[in-house]
Amino acid sequence: MMAHATQDTAIRTGRAVRMLIYLVLVLFALFYMLPLYVMLVNSVKPLDEITGGGMMNLPQVWTLAPWAKAWSSAQIGVEPTGLSPYFWNSIKMVVPAVAISTILGALNGYVLTKWRFRGDTILFGLMLFACFIPFQIVLIPMARMLGLMGLAGTTWGLVLVHVVYGIGFTTLYFRNYYAVFPTELVRAAQIDGAGFFQIFWRILLPSSGPIAVVSIIWQFTNIWNDFLFGASFAGADSQPMTVALNNLVQASHGVKEYNVHFAGAILAALPTLLVYIVAGRYFVRGLMAGSVKG
């Protein structure tokens, strides 16, 4: 592959080589689409078509029954509730966690760029490193702490956890964004007598739209997709979607209903996938900012 790649440049490429490049690109596009195709196509066919060796085929009989079952009547743990209650658990956890961590990130970014003080970079470094720790190192004390705070097994406990381990990234986004915002405007407003919050509210916030979208999308995707914290700290009535999906798929009793599993997997993927399709540009910006600190 490298050999083909390096025979070309952006400037001059022969016809044959270009065809080859297109071929490789299309093959990999198929590779990336494969699991999505498998999930979609098998979520709308009866179980016997899957077990009969037809996983890659289009359904002979189309049915939405697996979706209905995954949503409202599949056995999750001991209850035949389907995934719907867990879907709402995830929503109840994600919305406040995203809102709080984004607001805190915006304020932190504002302070760290426009009200700098000695040692602010070190403090920021401490916040940033927190994003990369293996969360296994905090699981034991966090379980104790949530217990002490009376939040064990609750949605609010999970909100707290996600806010704590999310503010490093949200602060990073806003800090990098505000760093290139003209400080003269802030100083001028200060001289005119504007206070700390006035400046934030009237001068920085109105132009923070794009980075707020980046932060919200990043946090939404990360928190919705989290499994470790959900599996460790959620109670029976606060389990998020990912944990419920895993329980559905790993259940060892009865017939394995692959079509229901695939429908459930799509249900769990749908919110983040929709966000990606609608606003993928911002998601990629968040990803890149998280890797190339700039």
Partner 1 sequence: MAQAANADFKTRLQTWLPKLVLSPSLAMVLIFVYGFIAFSVYLSFTDSRLLPSFGWVGWENYSKLWRLSHWETSITNMGIFALLYIGICTVLGLSLAIFLDQKIRAEGFIRTVYLYPMALSFIVTGTAWKWFLDPGIGLENVMQSWGWTSFEFDWIKNRDFAIYTVVLAAVWQTSGFVMAMFLAGLRGIDNEILKAAQMDGASNWNLYRRIIIPQLRPAFLSAFVILSHLAIKTFDLVIALTGGGPGRATELPATFMYSYTFSRNQMGIGAASATIMLMTIAAIMIPYLYAELREKK
We find the least distance from the C-beta atom of residue 148 to partner 1, in angstroms, to be 12
246 binds partner 1 (CB under 8 A): yes
Give the phi and the psi of residue 79 in degrees, each rounded to 5. -105, 135
We find the least distance from the C-beta atom of residue 107 to partner 1, in angstroms, to be 5
The residue range among 64-72, 75-83, 140-148, 206-214 that interacts with partner 1, by the rule CB under 8 A, is: 140-148
We find the least distance from the C-beta atom of residue 29 to partner 1, in angstroms, to be 5
60 binds partner 1 (CB under 8 A): no
* C-alpha–C-alpha distance, residues 261 and 255, integer Å: 12
- Which of 38, 45, 171 minimizes the C-alpha distance to 104? 171
**DSSP of 21-85:** HHHHHHHHHHHHHHHHHHHHHHTTS-HHHHHTT-TTSPPSS---HHHHHHHHTS-BTTB---SHH
* C-alpha–C-alpha distance, residues 135 and 228, integer Å: 8
**Count of residues near partner 1 by CB under 8 A:** 109
CB atoms within 10 A of CB 118: 6
Of 16, 61, 117, 192, which one interacts with partner 1 (CB under 8 A)?
117
Residues 69-108 binding partner 1 (CB under 8 A) are: 104, 107-108
- Which of 145, 162, 150 minimizes the C-alpha distance to 229? 162
We find the least distance from the C-beta atom of residue 62 to partner 1, in angstroms, to be 19
Residues 191-230 binding partner 1 (CB under 8 A) are: 195-197, 221, 224-225, 227-228
234 binds partner 1 (CB under 8 A): no
Between 185 and 287, CB nearer to partner 1: 287
Of 61, 78, 137, 180, which one interacts with partner 1 (CB under 8 A)?
137
DSSP annotation of 165 reads: T
Between 25 and 95, CB nearer to partner 1: 25
Q: 209 in helix, strand or coil?
A: helix
Residues 253-292 binding partner 1 (CB under 8 A) are: 258, 261-262, 264-266, 268-269, 272-273, 275-277, 280, 283-284, 287-288, 290-292
144 binds partner 1 (CB under 8 A): yes
Residue 252 vs residues 68, 246, 258: alpha-carbon distances, Å: 21, 12, 13
